[in-house]
């Protein structure tokens, strides 16, 4: 398959292929994306790589999938590390497009294919993301109010805070409504699986129930990674993964080690063996995901067996 790279900007798309130095430019709008897709139609079988750019890549990503192309969306850190490993230290849009094309050529066997989420998952993910933004704004506004000394300014700030609290409550109701049709008994089987955790995992971790425990731990970023070289045995630590998912699983694990006997006993055993509190908690986060993954997988298998 021909490797193709697309560097995505707010207003422009730069297109390159692995077997040439020319870079073609298109607008990142409806007309530009239509022209790009039509241009690719004569190129044969393609593996296209583009970076995650905070949502600017979504329209072209959807158009490429509708056209039947194989697409991988990579983390910008991954792409930059690949460029450095290739000896490319400079950075421009054209260089990035050619680098992504090389990445598509070299790493086809290792890059995961992007699968478009279901419409309900996309809606739920947007609500979850907005709720996280509102919660952060509430925290910031609360801290700022404490620093204000003028009564008039405090009054205005309190008005803004009340508006944010109302928006959070509305979002909570909408998230509960969107999540409800998709919550099976497995999603209610662990203490700590509150509405926000359920919605975040449903929308931002749709792979639950379909991956092995090792794959899931690496995907979320709670797998201890080796740091060994020769006779050196380095300190194991976690790195990478989906930070937004890891944040809610952290809070869920805190609840589980207090109120779920299975997790409470596991945490206490680790602490009794001398593990630091944070290491033990990360292990509980990993166990939390592994248990939920297994229960969802078994529930789906049972439903399939009954249906057959």
User: Which residues fall within 8 angstroms of residue 135, CB to CB, at 6 or more apart?
Assistant: 168
Fold of the domain spanning 119-182? Methane Monooxygenase Hydroxylase; Chain G, domain 1 (1.20.58)
3-state secondary structure 68-107: CCEEEEECHHHHHHHHHHCCCCCCCHHHHHHHHHHHHHHC
> Are 281 and 257 within 8 A, CB to CB?
yes
Type and span of the H or E element at 7: strand 2-8
> In tens digits, what is the pLDDT along the chain, a chain of 308 residues?
899 999 999 999 999 999 888 899 999 999 999 999 999 999 989 999 999 998 899 999 999 999 999 999 999 999 999 999 999 988 999 999 999 999 999 998 888 888 888 999 999 999 999 999 999 999 999 999 999 999 999 999 999 999 999 999 999 999 999 999 999 999 988 888 889 999 999 999 988 998 899 999 998 999 887 777 788 777 777 778 888 999 999 999 999 999 999 999 999 999 999 999 999 999 999 999 999 999 999 999 988 888 87
Pairing state of beta strands 12-17 and 2-8?
antiparallel
pLDDT for position 115: 84
13 three-state secondary structure: strand
Residue 184 in tokens: 């099976």
SS3 content of the chain, % helix, strand, coil (to 5): 60, 10, 30
Q: Which residues contact 59 (CB under 8 A, 6 or more apart)?
A: 28, 30, 33
What pLDDT score does 201 carry? Answer: 94
| Architecture of the domain defined by 2-106 | 2-Layer Sandwich (3.30)
117: its two tokens: 């989420």
What's residue 225's pLDDT?
77
Q: Do domains 2-106 and 119-182 have the same CATH topology?
A: no
**What are the extents of the domains in the chain?**
2-106, 119-182, 195-307
């Amino acid at each position: 398959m021909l490797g193709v790279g697309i560097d995505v900007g707010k207003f422009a798309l730069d297109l390159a292929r692995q077997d040439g130095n020319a870079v073609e430019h298109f607008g990142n709008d409806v007309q530009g994306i239509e022209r790009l897709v039509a241009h690719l139609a004569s190129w044969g079988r393609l593996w296209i790589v583009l970076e995650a750019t905070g949502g600017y890549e979504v329209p072209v990503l959807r158009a490429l999938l509708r056209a039947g192309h194989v697409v991988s969306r990579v983390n910008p850190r991954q792409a930059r590390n690949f460029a450095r490993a290739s000896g490319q230290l400079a950075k421009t849009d054209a260089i990035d497009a050619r680098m992504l094309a090389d990445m598509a050529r070299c790493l086809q066997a290792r890059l995961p294919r992007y699968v478009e989420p279901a419409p309900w998952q996309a809606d739920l993910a947007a609500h979850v993301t907005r709720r996280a933004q509102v919660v952060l704004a509430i925290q910031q506004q609360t801290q700022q109010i404490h620093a204000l000394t003028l009564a008039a300014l405090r009054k205005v700030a309190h008005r803004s805070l009340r508006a944010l609290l109302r928006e959070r409550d509305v979002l909570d109701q909408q998230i509960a409504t969107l999540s409800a049709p998709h919550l099976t008994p497995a999603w209610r089987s662990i203490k700590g699986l509150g509405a926000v955790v359920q919605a975040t995992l449903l929308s931002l971790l749709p792979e639950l129930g379909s991956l092995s425990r090792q794959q899931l731990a690496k995907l979320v970023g709670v797998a201890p990674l080796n740091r060994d070289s020769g006779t050196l045995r380095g300190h194991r630590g976690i790195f990478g993964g989906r930070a937004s998912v890891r944040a809610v699983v952290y809070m869920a694990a805190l609840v589980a080690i207090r109120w779920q006997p299975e997790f409470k006993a596991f945490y206490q055993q680790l602490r009794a063996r001398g593990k630091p509190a944070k290491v033990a908690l990360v292990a509980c986060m990993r166990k939390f995901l592994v248990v939920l993954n297994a229960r969802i997988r078994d529930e789906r298998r049972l439903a399939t067996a009954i249906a057959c």
